[in-house]
Amino acid sequence: MFFFQLAFGDPTIKPNGKVTIGTHVFNVEVAKSEKTKQVGLTKATGIKNDEGMLFAFDTYGLYGFWMKNMKFPVDIIFISDGQIVSTAQDAPLVIASNSSPVVYRPDGVADKILEINAGLVKKYNINAGDNVKIEL
């Protein structure tokens, strides 16, 4: 069952947008409401390599992300004005419930944050300064 979810995506992920970085297209669920942003991908046990979650903010900021309650590691891509500001690669899971999770923040202000499967930033050679096309 676990393999099925990783191979075919978790049914709780409902893609409603696309993010293109270079030649790679990610079908994303867009988190716009505060509740959806708080839950994020914690409801999923895994996603496909062409899926992700896009967090869309109305204003620019140094938004922090952590891995509390996550079931799989991710790469975090911070985006501003259609360009990658910075990335956090292979964000590890929080194992101990009493430990403080690491908070990942961009190197500059961002208004969109994309979470994808861990290892894809390196695999696809995604870097700060790369252009990002977002279709919502």
Per-domain residue ranges of the chain: 2-8+15-135
Q: Which residues contact 70 (CB under 8 A, 6 or more apart)?
A: 40, 41, 42, 91, 93, 94
The answer, yes or no, to whether residue 10 has pLDDT greater than 60, is no
What backbone phi and psi angles, to 5 degrees, belong to 4? -60, -45
The answer, yes or no, to whether residue 24 has pLDDT greater than 90, is: yes
Please give the residue that has the higher pLDDT: either 136 or 2.
136
Residue 81 reports pLDDT greater than 50: yes
* Residues 113-136 pLDDT 10s: 999 999 999 999 999 999 999 999
pLDDT bucket at 99, cuts 50 / 70 / 90: low
Q: What is the pLDDT of residue 12?
A: 62
The answer to whether 81 touches 49, Cβ cutoff 8 Å, is no
Q: What is the mean pLDDT of residues 65-93?
A: 93
CATH of domain 2-8+15-135: 2.60.120.1140
